[in-house]
């Protein structure tokens, strides 16, 4: 590792989170890297996303008026789903845009505008920035709404919150929703606190763990089945599952899911590092390695330095912009690292700030965590083991609760 301090908490990361298990040969898969090909391409190619199984859903969409909820991850092979469906004469009417926009070039939290999608000429209706649900007028001319968005399996990644609002609108106006499912790159485990209702927000809509281990299709079924939509209404829902998928499969995303998650490692580190957004510590937004480093102006332990700078379409006003930071380079972390508390516990002592100053956005941190108990425990000096013990009964209950909605073996 580039930073000695990371070595110390990497040991805790391994102890608590990453315990390799022998996978049965019948479903062991080697992921296709974003930068290289798998050694076992035949097995990887056997996995088919929902969008790649056109024979299962094209009959539903023929001679129908269709709206799409898509972004840059909505691919069928080398083609965007928009182009794929247009080539097959599906009656596309409009595109609904979520965070980061239709083409994935809007920074985190950036404004997503109504407009026209240049390549297709289809109208874009923004569903990000306060107007999270499509209006009755926007849905009135549709026979189907299709959702095909790659998720990363972390509760505060907001595409599943957008899914909730879409399901609510479809339930209210009786528009059928078709979910084309995709693998969860953090789907091999569950961990973290379960969200408490009083901390519900757009970065956490449902009483699920921080790492929930479910796909979008499974979550959609759970939202319906558990009555989480207002009034307990049901969304007319059809899910096209991923073929030949198991939750323990390592899955490498062929397209980055958002501007600041550029590779597989950033996606695996995201559950642990995302919580730092509520603190004074930088997660390296404004660099070429976001969510793969940690830094602070006053850190003296780290041997790695970086300076956040504005990056158009990714991070135009990053934390500590223009300030040299010291910290930890995590780019050599294990590729299958899991959620860990140790980075947070370590850095809460490293900045030299008071606990109140360290949690500079305490309210936002609590929304990300889904509870204020985590922040209070860190401030009180609790150990990772003590904090983890407080989650176990809730995690056990969640495992049972989600069971009827699972589409894939573990």
- Is the same domain home to 69 and 184? yes
Q: What is the pLDDT of residues 306-361, one digit of tens each?
A: 999 999 888 999 999 999 999 999 999 999 999 999 999 999 999 999 999 999 99
Average pLDDT over residues 126-147: 91
Distance of CA 169 to the CA centre of its chain: 22
Residue 389 lies in a domain: no
Question: Are 358 and 32 in contact, with CB atoms under 8 Å apart?
Answer: no
Same domain? 98 vs 220: yes
Say whether both 263 and 202 belong to one domain: no
Higher pLDDT, 35 or 224: 224
Give me the pLDDT at residue 118, please. Answer: 77
pLDDT 10s digits, 285-314: 999 999 999 999 999 999 999 999 999 888
194 and 373 Cβ atoms separated by less than 8 Å: no
* Residue 32: pLDDT band with limits 50, 70, 90: very low
> 275 and 328, same structural domain?
yes
Q: Among candidates 177, 172, 247, 169, which has minimal Cα distance to 212?
A: 247
d(Cα 230, Cα 244) in Å, to the nearest integer?
34
Residues 219 and 76 placed together within one structural domain of the fold? yes
Q: Does residue 31 form part of some domain?
A: no
pLDDT tens-digit readout, 101-114: 786 555 455 556 77
- Classify residue 384: in a domain, yes or no: no
Q: Based on C-alpha coordinates, what's the Rg of the chain?
A: 21
Bridge partners of 97?
Answer: 126
Q: Could you tell me how many helices (H) and strands (E) the chain has, helices first?
A: 14, 14
Residue 328 in tokens: 């930890």
Could you report the per-residue pLDDT of 75-103, keeping only the tens digit for each? Answer: 999 999 999 999 999 999 999 988 777 86
Find the helix or strand (DSSP H, E) in which 146 lies.
strand 144-148
* 403: its two tokens: 């069971």
Q: Domain for residue 391, yes or no?
A: no
Q: Which of 328, 375, 370, 368 is nearest to 348 (CA)?
A: 375
CA–CA distance from 174 to each of 36, 142, 169 (Å)? 44, 10, 8
In this structure, is the dihedral angle defined by the CA atoms of residues 320, 274, 2 and 347, taken in order, positive or negative?
positive
Are residues 86 and 63 located together in one domain of the fold?
A: yes
- Percent residues over pLDDT 90 in the chain: 79
Structure letter (DSSP) for residue 341? S
Q: State the residue range of the domain holding 309.
A: 4-20+259-379
Q: What is residue 35's predicted lDDT score, i.e. its pLDDT?
A: 32
Residue 28 inside a domain? The answer is: no
Cα 349 from chain centre: 28
Provide φ and ψ at 231, rounded to 5°: 75, 5
Token pair belonging to 385: 């083991």
- Give me the DSSP letters along 193-226: EEPPGGG-BTTB-SS-EEE----HHHHHHHHHHT
The CATH number of the domain holding residue 216 is 3.40.50.12170
Predicted confidence at residue 110, as pLDDT, reads 53
CA 398 – CA 219 distance, rounded (Å) = 12
Give the helix/strand (H/E) hosting 68: strand 65-70
- Asked if 4 contacts 303 with a C-beta cutoff of 8 angstroms, the reply is yes
With 0-12 / 13-18 / 19 or more C-beta atoms within 10 angstroms meaning exposed / middle / buried, residue 317 is exposed
**333 in the same domain as 232:** no
Give CA separation, 20 vs 103, 385, 395, in Å: 36, 20, 21
Same domain, 311 and 226: no
The total domain count for the chain is 2
Give burial (CB, 10 Å; 0-12/13-18/19+) of 226. middle
**How deeply is 273 buried, as exposed, middle or buried, from its count of CB atoms within 10 A (0-12, 13-18, 19+)?**
buried
- Is the domain of 10 the same as that of 60? no
Q: Are strands 325-329 and 304-306 parallel, antiparallel or unpaired?
A: antiparallel
Same domain, 96 and 234: yes
Q: Which two tokens stand for residue 278?
A: 């509520």
CATH number of the domain encompassing residue 310 = 3.90.1150
Judge whether 60 and 85 are in contact, CB under 8 Å: no
- Eight-class DSSP state of 246: -
Tell whether 241 and 273 lie within a shared domain: no
Which pLDDT band, with edges at 50, 70 and 90, does 16 fall under?
very low
pTM (two decimals)? 0.88
Residue 385 included in any domain = no
What average pLDDT is seen over the chain? 88
* Per-residue pLDDT at 37: 34
Sign of CA dihedral 220, 224, 227, 229: positive
List the alpha helices (DSSP H) in 34-142: 41-46, 54-61, 81-87, 136-139
Residues 215 and 68 occupy one common structural domain: yes
**Structural tokens at position 96:** 């609904």
- The verdict on residue 26 lying in a domain is no
Asked if residue 74 belongs to a domain, the reply is yes
Provide the token pair at 193.
């606190």
For residue 31, the model assigns a pLDDT of 33
């Amino acid at each position: 590792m580039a930073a000695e301090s990371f070595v110390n908490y990497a040991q805790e990361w391994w102890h608590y989170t990453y315990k390799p298990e022998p996978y049965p040969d019948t479903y062991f898969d080697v992921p296709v890297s974003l930068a290289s090909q798998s050694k076992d391409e035949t097995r990887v190619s056997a996995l088919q996303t929902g969008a790649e199984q056109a024979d299962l859903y094209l009959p539903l969409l023929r001679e129908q008026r269709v709206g799409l909820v898509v972004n840059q991850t909505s691919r069928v092979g080398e083609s965007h789903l928009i182009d794929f469906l247009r080539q097959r004469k599906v009656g596309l009417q409009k595109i609904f845009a979520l965070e980061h926009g239709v083409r994935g070039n809007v920074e985190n939290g950036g404004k997503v505008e109504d407009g026209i999608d240049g390549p297709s000429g289809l109208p874009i209706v923004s569903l990000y920035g306060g107007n999270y649900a499509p209006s009755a007028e926007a849905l009135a001319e549709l026979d189907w709404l299709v959702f095909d968005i790659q998720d990363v399996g972390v509760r505060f990644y907001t595409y599943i919150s957008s899914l909730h609002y879409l399901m609510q609108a479809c339930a209210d106006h009786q528009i059928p929703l078709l979910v084309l499912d995709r693998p969860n790159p953090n789907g091999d485990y569950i961990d973290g606190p379960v969200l408490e209702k009083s901390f519900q927000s757009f970065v956490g809509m449902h009483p699920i763990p921080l790492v929930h281990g479910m796909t979008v299709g499974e979550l959609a079924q759970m939202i319906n089945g558990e009555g989480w939509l207002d009034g307990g209404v049901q969304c007319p829902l059809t899910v096209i599952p991923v073929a030949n998928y198991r939750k323990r499969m390592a899955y490498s995303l062929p397209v980055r899911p958002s501007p600041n998650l550029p590779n597989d490692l950033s996606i695996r580190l995201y559950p642990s590092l995302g919580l730092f957004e509520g603190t004074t510590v930088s997660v390296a937004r404004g660099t070429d390695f976001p969510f793969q480093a940690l830094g602070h102006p006053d850190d003296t332990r780290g041997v790695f330095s970086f300076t956040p700078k504005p990056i158009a379409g990714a991070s135009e006003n990053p934390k500590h912009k223009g300030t040299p930071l010291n910290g930890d380079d995590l780019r050599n972390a294990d590729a299958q690292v899991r959620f860990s508390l140790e980075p947070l516990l370590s850095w809460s002592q490293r900045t030299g700030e008071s606990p109140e100053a360290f949690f500079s956005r305490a309210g936002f941190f609590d929304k990300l965590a889904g509870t204020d108990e985590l922040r209070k425990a860190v401030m009180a000096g609790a150990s990772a083991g003590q904090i983890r013990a407080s989650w176990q009964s809730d995690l056990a209950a969640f495992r049972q609760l989600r069971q009827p909605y699972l589409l894939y073996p573990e």
